[in-house]
Amino acid sequence: MLTPNLCYANLKESYLFRHIAGKTEAYLKAHPGARLYRMGIGDVSLPLVPAVIQALHAAVDEQAEKNSFHGYMPECGAPFLRETIAEYYQQRGVSLSADEVFVSSGASDELGDLLDLFDRKNRALIMEPAYPAYVDANIMAGREILHLPSGPENHFLPMPDEHLQADLIYLCSPNNPTGAAFSREQLSRWVRWANERGALILFDAAYEAFIDEENLPHSIFEIPGARTCAIEICSLSKTAGFTGTRLGYTVIPKELERSGLSLNAMWVRNRTTKTNGVSYILQRGGAAVFTVEGQHQIRENIMVYKENARVLMKALDEAGARYWGGKNAPYLWMECPDRMDSWAFFDRLLNEIQVVGTPGAGFGSCGEGFFRFSTFGNPDDTREAAARLLKLLKP
Ligand code: PLP
């Protein structure tokens, strides 16, 4: 008889967004016609930019003609997109060869699939609070998980010390949910720590495009030594509104070797076995993101989200609330007032001012006592939510 992967029995029920939806539905049922201000979801609200739409249409037309039709794409990505992404890194002073860039269907897919490269016996260290997929993907793989707590005492940016032992480390910067971003010096310490132990950093850079401060690194490969200890996972979801279109990329340097095996070569072998590549049409759309016009247009969208963040930060400042993020990330991470737990604060915001956010407890135990606001919503709703928050929180 077939034995399923019994590790799935160790997964906690993923109830966060379902629970939020259940509570908001119940509220609307009890208050028909009530207007809610949704600051919870991590999905974007602005459509794809014109440069991308144009490229997608042109690629669809190419697929209609015998002479320009494309069948299977190379499994690791179309050369035109791999080269374009390598040039994007070069603009920041990071030299990559195109075959170190792998085109993907998004960061979530990669965060799960990449685990194929590592032995089950490796211990995974996850900085917390964390994007829940890191924990769940490792539970599914049967791996031991160590939690690296963070909090106000380290500004939600935990640092390694000589006692810390792990093989696989998840770092997310700028961070979801806290919005905190590592400095160059802090990332250098992680790189040094990983190289000294032969550990590997999985660096989630899904929010790099939201970094405003000049000196903060957008990529771990801006740090000397990272090419021998890091893989970077990136996404066009939040950068360019590809959440429903699906496109991302992963960087695996050629120098990255363990036990005499090249992780880059292993990933080529994995992709050529397990995928037939991302569609030609989507890759053309993705390449348009990196043109001068595309970069200008996505920047305009990001500025709308940044203005939402500014409006919210102003309200929280005036209310005297303690919060992190907002500057280099599309999330604000607020300490719940009066030591309230995060679900109690959720209920209070919903019932008293009709604002819906995300309780920090959904991001692991370190998130308890905190609350996440997303800035991806509509500007009018964000302004109204900010005004209501100020009124509620102001002493
Ligand atoms: N990594 C982080 C930190 C995220 O917050 C998200 C999505 O919210 C992802 C990865 C997944 O991105 P994608 O849409 O590319 O799968």
Q: Is residue 153 part of a domain?
A: yes
How many angstroms separate the alpha carbon of residue 260 from the centre of ligand 1? 31
What confidence score (pLDDT) does residue 12 get?
A: 85
Q: Is residue 55 part of a domain?
A: yes
Q: Are 36 and 24 in contact (CB under 8 A)?
A: yes
Tell me: do 222 and 330 sit in the same domain. no
What is the 3-class SS of 14-61, one letter each residue? Answer: CCHHHHHHHHHHHHHHHCCCCCCEECCCCCCCCCCCHHHHHHHHHHHH
Of all residues in the chain, what percent carry a pLDDT higher than 90? Answer: 95
What confidence score (pLDDT) does residue 298 get?
A: 98
Identify the domain boundary among 262, 290, 318: 290
Residues within 6 Å of ligand 1 by CB: 42, 106-108, 131, 172, 176, 204, 206, 235, 237, 243, 248
DSSP 330-347: SEEEEEPGGG--HHHHHH
> Is 80 exceeded by the pLDDT of residue 90?
yes
CATH number at residue 194: 3.40.640.10
Q: Is residue 347 part of a domain?
A: yes
How many angstroms separate the alpha carbon of residue 137 from the centre of ligand 1? 13
> Is 80 exceeded by the pLDDT of residue 15?
no
- The average confidence (pLDDT) of the chain is 96
How many angstroms separate the alpha carbon of residue 245 from the centre of ligand 1? 13
Identify the domain boundary among 290, 311, 329: 290
* Residue 137 C-alpha from the chain's centroid: 15
Kindly report the protein residue whose alpha carbon is nearest to atom 2 of ligand 1: 206
pLDDT tens per residue across span 97-132: 999 999 999 999 999 999 999 999 999 999 999 998
Tell me which residue has tokens 């696989």.
Answer: 168
Identify the domain boundary among 290, 314, 343: 290
Of ligand 1's listed atoms, the one at least distance from the Cα of 43 is 8
Q: Are 98 and 82 in contact (CB under 8 A)?
A: yes
Q: What is the DSSP letter of 4?
A: -
What confidence score (pLDDT) does residue 177 get?
A: 97
Of all residues in the chain, what percent carry a pLDDT higher than 70? Answer: 100
pLDDT tens per residue across span 309-344: 999 999 999 999 999 999 999 999 999 999 999 999
Tell me which residue has tokens 């190289």.
Answer: 195
How many angstroms separate the alpha carbon of residue 240 from the centre of ligand 1? 13
∠148-153-157 over CA atoms, to 5°?
50
Residue whose CB lies within 8 A of the most ligand 1 atoms, among 238, 249, 331, 333, for a mutation test? 238
What confidence score (pLDDT) does residue 41 get?
A: 79
Q: Are 104 and 150 in contact (CB under 8 A)?
A: no
Least-confidence region, from 1-15, 157-171, 356-370: 1-15
Of ligand 1's listed atoms, the one at least distance from the Cα of 107 is 15
What confidence score (pLDDT) does residue 23 get?
A: 94
> Is 90 exceeded by the pLDDT of residue 70?
yes
What mean pLDDT do residues 188-210 have? 98
What confidence score (pLDDT) does residue 42 get?
A: 83
Q: Is residue 1 part of a domain?
A: no
How many angstroms separate the alpha carbon of residue 107 from the centre of ligand 1? 5
Task: Residue 307: give the domain boundaries.
Answer: 6-48+294-393
**Strand ranges (E), 116-247:** 124-128, 145-149, 168-172, 200-204, 230-235
> Is 80 exceeded by the pLDDT of residue 170?
yes
Secondary-structure breakdown of the chain: helix, strand, coil percentages, each rounded to the nearest 5: 45, 15, 40
Residue whose CB lies within 8 A of the most ligand 1 atoms, among 108, 239, 282, for a mutation test? 108
Given strand 358-359, what is the order of strands in its sheet?
323-325, 331-335, 370-374, 358-359
Tell me: do 165 and 258 sit in the same domain. yes
Of ligand 1's listed atoms, the one at least distance from the Cα of 248 is 15
What confidence score (pLDDT) does residue 395 get?
A: 78
**Position 281 confidence tier, pLDDT thresholds 50, 70, 90:** very high
pLDDT tens per residue across span 337-388: 999 999 999 999 999 999 999 999 999 999 999 999 999 999 999 999 999 9
Beta strands 370-374 and 331-335, pairing class: antiparallel
C-alpha distance from residue 389 to each of 59, 226, 349, 360, 381 (Å): 46, 42, 8, 17, 12
Report how far residue 93's alpha carbon sits from residue 87's, in angstroms, rounded to the nearest whole number.
10
How many angstroms separate the alpha carbon of residue 235 from the centre of ligand 1? 7
Given strand 168-172, what is the order of strands in its sheet?
101-104, 248-251, 230-235, 200-204, 168-172, 124-128, 145-149
**Position 7 confidence tier, pLDDT thresholds 50, 70, 90:** very high
Number of domains forming the structure of the chain? 2
How many angstroms separate the alpha carbon of residue 29 from the centre of ligand 1? 32
**Position 236 confidence tier, pLDDT thresholds 50, 70, 90:** very high
